[in-house]
Structure 1
Amino acid sequence: MNNNTIVLTGGGTAGHVSLNEAIIPELLKKGYEVHYIGSSDGIEKTIIEKGFPTLPYYSISNGKLRRYFSVKNFSDPFKVLYGTMQALRILRKVKPSIVFSKGGFVSVPVVVAAKLSNIPVVIHESDITPGLANKIATPFAEHIFSVFEETLKYLPKDKSSSIGAIIRPDLFQGDEKIARELTGFSPLKETIIIMGGSQGSKNINTAIKDNIESLTKRFQIIHLCGKGNLDPTLKNNPNYVAFEYVTNELPHLLKITNYVISRAGSNSIFEFLELKKPMLLIPLSKNASRGDQVLNANFFEKQGYAIVLEEENLTSETFMSSISALALNKEKIIDAQCMANSSKTPEQFTELLLTYKN
């Protein structure tokens, strides 16, 4: 074992990469050699290679873990098995003292390989109920950290703990001047940032387009529309600006943001909570996901941190009425957000994580 080497894994969505992305600088500062295992075509490869171009990145085979019938359910276990063999070879070469998994399908072969190699595994679960990948990986883990206290009832009591959200310090380092240069927006008009996840949301994008005149009459709109979803018919509106996806620009854009309209991935909504941004949450429906975002959104609404609009109820009319309700309740929501429990920094979480290494 190399006591100063750590392997990170996780992918499939940006939410399964963001915490890894946040702790890598902390690990490097502590003198750790960091390696990443992900898929060959997942968003994790793009994020890690762009953000940390010198970091060793290894691609492995992985199958999708489905809760529904598909003929691929018969072939994908072989992909997972092959991915486990690939991960075994990588771990035996790298010899890390610990493996940290953020979840997603690609993490399962890595976690299994680590257990077979007697390398301690630590898992992080962001949502109220564990994802399928983390459920499968839990028996192989030394410890599981969760964001929500409620998650602990789904996890083994003897090796799990709730630590709250981990918030990146750079979120608080947004520069208003840079944001104004990126958008051309005025400080005299309120700004909404609208995001539909890393892939974008057709339904949300349609609701924006249908209401663009009413929206931009009252607000300035920053629209993170997803890859391939830029709409050229909207680009000449001075109160509307669109980006397919942003990374380093996000803290600057949030600096001038008064309201957030978003999906309900745990990482993102806790960041908005920490920044005290009133939220309209439009979670992925249970028809399109396992329902974790619905649970996250409902929890935030119950605490008074957000207003929720179910995707099944999303129309041009309900979109606008929900935005009006959000603006009307702005101060009440911010007051509730100010009472929220404190979060942890990536530095604090890194210290906790490293207590489990060999």
Structure 2
Amino acid sequence: MPNAIPARPQGEKPRRILFTGGGSAGHVSVNLALIPLLQSQGWNAVYMGSSSGIEKQLIGRLDDVDYYSISTGKLRRYVDLQNVKDPFRVVKGVFQAYRLIRKLRPSVVFSKGGFVSVPVVLGAWLNRVPVIIHESDLTPGLANRIANPFARKVCVTFGETTASIKGNKAVHVGPVVRNELLRGNALKGLQWSKLLPGKPVLLIMGGSLGSKNINEAVRRNLPVLTQTYQIIHLCGKGELDDRCNGVKGYRQYEYVHDELPDIAACSELVISRAGSNSIFEFLALRKPMLLIPLSKSASRGDQLLNAESFRKAGFCEVLQEEELTDDAFLAAISRLYADREGIRARMRERDSGPSAVEAITSLIRENSLRR
């Protein structure tokens, strides 16, 4: 069912909420779900992020949301010359955020995480503005671990995550799913992508930044895959391959926006990374998934835990990136297709519980300042 939002109590004045989060689409998607709903209840929404991150591009598509850029540094786990410069960028970002928040006077800050959120959370804390954090993954990310001591509440998607949050701040709200994704039209998806009804569609997503290994595996195996499937391949910025444009039944795009609900609706199976927001959205849409999580060498291991949780629940097949050979890739897709009805049945049995959006918006109202 679509997310609901409680009405603002009669006589309550509208307030301002400052959103932050970025670096990847996963660190923006929850904000994209909340902003229109809060605006419909009279909240004034503003956003603070980096000057060139994907969050600026995504938020720029929304109406009536002012965007403020600040300096930020990436929180790397590997040796890089930029590690010397980035602490200074973060400190600069804290001062910028502090001054902007002092001017904007929001009633509350909602942070989705990502490295850009740290200066904003610190700037809010210095201004004594309440902060609510959202953590999608099973284990908190580095940015959220840094920010947690300065937050009043931490909303978590997985119930197991509450044990990782200190200070009795964790609130298990469950997954946030964007309303528009639930309204997709399969026929429109086929028409937009110029594919035909009757032959199953395989949707491939490597995340907003794409995945070179997944892209290469798909393209190497196009002659086999297109015998059984039509393919919609969201390959990431700069990852289009013109050599594949003439392949019958294969469509490639860097990224899609408004078309995603219709594309998802017309898809039989999904191949994806294992970012929490995406896989919970596919779960809500009851799409059987082949998950290829980022390896431990390329991440903090959160996607490995997310994928294993879904595998245990029977919602997906999992293929580790280190095992991504052509034979293993094709075999995993075959197993997924063979078990698709069983997977959908297990997805239908899942108790979705109360609306996560309703729980979050209630927390926002309860913990915001009355300006």
TM-score, normalization by structure 2 = 0.93
Question: Runs of 5+ in structure 2 lacking a partner?
Answer: 1-12
Which of 46, 55, 60 is matched with 2:65 structurally? 55
Measured after TM superposition, the shift of residue 3 of structure 1 is 6.0
Which of 79, 95, 116 is matched with 1:85 structurally? 95
Measured after TM superposition, the shift of residue 348 of structure 1 is 5.0
Question: What is the SS of the residue equivalent to 2:120?
Answer: helix
Measured after TM superposition, the shift of residue 152 of structure 1 is 0.9
Q: 1:169 touches 1:345 (CA, 8 Å); kept in 2?
A: no
Question: What is the SS of the residue equivalent to 1:287?
Answer: helix
Aligned to 1:221: 231
The range that moved more, 329-338 or 111-120, is: 329-338
Q: 1:99 touches 1:121 (CA, 8 Å); kept in 2?
A: yes
Question: What is the SS of the residue equivalent to 1:257?
Answer: coil
User: Is 2:232 the partner of 1:232?
Assistant: no
In structure 2, C-alpha distance between the alignment counterparts of 1:98 and 1:7, rounded to whole Å: 6
Amino acid at match of 1:26: L
Which of 348, 365, 368 is matched with 1:354 structurally? 365
Aligned to 1:288: 298
Aligned to 1:16: 27
Question: What is the SS of the residue equivalent to 1:158?
Answer: coil
User: Is 2:347 the partner of 1:337?
Assistant: yes
Amino acid at match of 2:95: M
Residue correspondence of structure 1 range 134-149 to structure 2 within 5 A: 134-149=144-159
Measured after TM superposition, the shift of residue 247 of structure 1 is 1.2
In structure 1, C-alpha distance between the alignment counterparts of 2:14 and 2:80, rounded to whole Å: 42
Residue correspondence of structure 1 range 100-139 to structure 2 within 5 A: 100-139=110-149
Describe the superposition over 1:278-331 as per-residue Cα deviations: whole angstroms up to 9, x where unpaired.
Answer: 000001111111111111001100111111000011011111011011111112
Question: What is the SS of the residue equivalent to 1:91?
Answer: helix
Question: What is the SS of the residue equivalent to 1:245?
Answer: coil
In structure 1, C-alpha distance between the alignment counterparts of 2:33 and 2:301, rounded to whole Å: 26
Measured after TM superposition, the shift of residue 255 of structure 1 is 1.0
Measured after TM superposition, the shift of residue 177 of structure 1 is 2.9
Residue correspondence of structure 1 range 1-358 to structure 2 within 5 A: 4-49=15-60, 51-342=61-352, 344=355, 346-347=357-358, 349-358=360-369
In structure 2, C-alpha distance between the alignment counterparts of 1:261 and 1:102, rounded to whole Å: 25
Q: 2:291 touches 2:319 (CA, 8 Å); kept in 1?
A: yes
Q: 2:32 touches 2:178 (CA, 8 Å); kept in 1?
A: no
Measured after TM superposition, the shift of residue 54 of structure 1 is 3.6
TM-score, normalization by structure 1 = 0.96
In structure 2, C-alpha distance between the alignment counterparts of 1:48 and 1:203, rounded to whole Å: 29
Question: What is the SS of the residue equivalent to 1:338?
Answer: helix
Measured after TM superposition, the shift of residue 238 of structure 1 is 2.7
Measured after TM superposition, the shift of residue 161 of structure 1 is 1.3
Amino acid at match of 1:81: V
Measured after TM superposition, the shift of residue 351 of structure 1 is 3.1
Measured after TM superposition, the shift of residue 203 of structure 1 is 0.8
Question: Runs of 5+ in structure 1 lacking a partner?
Answer: none
Runs of 4+ in 1 over 4 A off after TM superposition: none
Identity of aligned residues (%): 50
